[in-house]
């Protein structure tokens, strides 16, 4: 399955690296314009807000990184009720891994929203069954704080590090088209080193007070997700779906499966078949 505009999105990405790119939907005749507006009203809201008629005027375009947000990746599901490796945590929708349905490219045109609805149903059922099983047990008296990065730093030595700096560094490694739409082993190595260093700062020093803790925790999860995605990209020594290695353009049959990352500070990467065998044993 291909999402977006097929192979031509690579041409657009190359042009965007060279300079600004503009578009105009001038091949839509008036009847089609009406259908487009009716069929995808959300797509026209941004144009209407800034007063652009996309059918007659040029407007500047860019590509947004889908990455682990709505693209591939997400929290691994280990059972048919959407349970995860963490007891009591159930996942659905974009947050949940859905490569089993969509493959190496994000599914568009109904796959993602039907997945959100279906997995939401299964996860809700799983979570409520889990909660019912616990009724009667005084589990509230046994709760303890688990979160560390961004909340409870590993080191007592203070260091000047802010959530916005962390987000800026991660963004500069995972969103530029030159680094992530077109990947190379060398580029990924450099990004990986930078993200490892940011992660160490986050783990050891990042913390906030009051409501700021939400922000520092978000920054920590962005740093963790960026680090995992670059590590998985380095591990996948081929090109497949959204993962385009200009130095390794072909697909390798050895990688015709998902990669599962387990662990936070120290993690390991396994192919999905090995991981499933592990879970079953
Ligand atoms: C531009 C675009 C076009 C798309 N087109 C299609 C399409 O044509 N067909 C298709 O099937 N799919 C499409 N999708 C994908 C589809 O919209 C998503 O897969 C689906 O909406 C995911 O649902 P979800 O409930 O998992 O996540 P979301 O819809 O993102 O819901 C998550 C919610 O959680 C809220 N939230 C986040 N953090 C917090 C917090 N800390 N506390 C409380 N709330 C929080 C967010 O505000 C949001 O409301 C498109 C997506 C985009 C962005």
Q: What is the CATH number of the domain that holds 175?
A: 1.20.58.100
> Ligand 1: distance of its center to the CA of 121 in Å?
16
Ligand 1 centroid vs 51 CA: distance in angstroms?
26
Which atom of ligand 1 has the smallest separation from the CA of 218? 41
CA of 185: how far to CAs of 64, 105, 173, in Å?
A: 22, 20, 14
Average pLDDT value for residue range 70-83: 86
Ligand 1 within 6 A of CB of 94: yes
Query: Of 119, 144, 169, which residue constitutes the final position of a domain?
Result: 144
- Structural domain including 31 reads 8-61
Residue 3 domain-assigned (yes or no): no
Mean pLDDT of 127-147: 76
- The overall average pLDDT reported for the chain is 89
Quote the pTM value.
Answer: 0.86
Cα separation, 235 vs 232, whole angstroms: 5
> pLDDT at position 262, please?
92
Q: Are residues 151 and 276 both part of a single domain? A: yes
Residue 2 pLDDT exceeds 50:
no
Q: Report the alpha-carbon angle 97-144-201, nearest 5.
A: 65
**Centroid of ligand 1 to alpha carbon of 55 (angstroms):** 27
Q: Is 45 in the pocket of ligand 1 (CB under 6 A)?
A: no
pLDDT digits (tens, 9 = 90+) for 221-272: 999 999 999 999 999 999 998 899 999 999 999 999 889 999 999 999 988 7
Q: Which atom of ligand 1 is nearest to the CA of 40?
A: 8
Q: Is the pLDDT of residue 92 over 50?
A: yes
Specify whether 162 is located in the same domain as 130: no
pLDDT tens digit string along 157-200?
Answer: 777 899 999 999 999 999 999 999 999 999 999 999 999 999 99
Is the Cβ atom of 217 under 6 angstroms away from ligand 1? no
Let me know whether 243 and 186 are in one domain.
Answer: yes
């Amino acid at each position: 399955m291909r999402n977006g505009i097929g192979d031509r999105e690579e041409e657009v990405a190359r042009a965007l690296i060279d300079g600004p790119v503009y578009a105009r939907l001038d091949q839509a005749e008036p009847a089609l314009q009406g259908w487009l507006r009716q069929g995808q009203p959300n797509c026209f809201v941004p144009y209407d807000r800034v007063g652009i008629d996309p059918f007659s005027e040029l407007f500047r375009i860019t590509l947004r990184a889908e990455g682990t947000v709505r693209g591939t990746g997400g929290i691994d599901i280990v059972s048919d009720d959407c349970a995860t490796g963490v007891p009591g945590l159930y996942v659905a929708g974009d947050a949940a891994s859905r490569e089993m349905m969509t493959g190496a490219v994000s599914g568009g045109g109904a796959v993602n929203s039907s997945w959100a609805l279906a997995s939401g149903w299964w996860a809700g059922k799983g979570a409520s069954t889990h909660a019912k099983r616990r009724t009667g047990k005084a589990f509230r008296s046994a709760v303890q704080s688990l979160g560390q990065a961004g909340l409870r730093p590993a080191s007592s030595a203070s260091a000047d590090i802010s959530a916005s700096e962390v987000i800026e560094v991660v963004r500069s490694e995972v969103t530029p088209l030159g680094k992530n739409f077109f990947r190379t082993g060398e580029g990924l190595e450099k990004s990986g080193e930078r993200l490892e260093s940011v992660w160490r700062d986050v783990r050891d020093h990042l913390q906030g007070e009051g409501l700021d803790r939400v922000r520092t925790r978000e920054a920590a999860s962005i740093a963790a997700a960026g680090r995992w995605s670059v590590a998985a990209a380095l591990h996948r020594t081929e090109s497949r779906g959204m993962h385009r290695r200009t130095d390794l353009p072909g697909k390798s049959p050895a990688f015709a499966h998902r990669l599962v990352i387990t662990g936070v500070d120290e993690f390991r990467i396994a192919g999905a078949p090995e991981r499933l065998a592990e879970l079953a044993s």
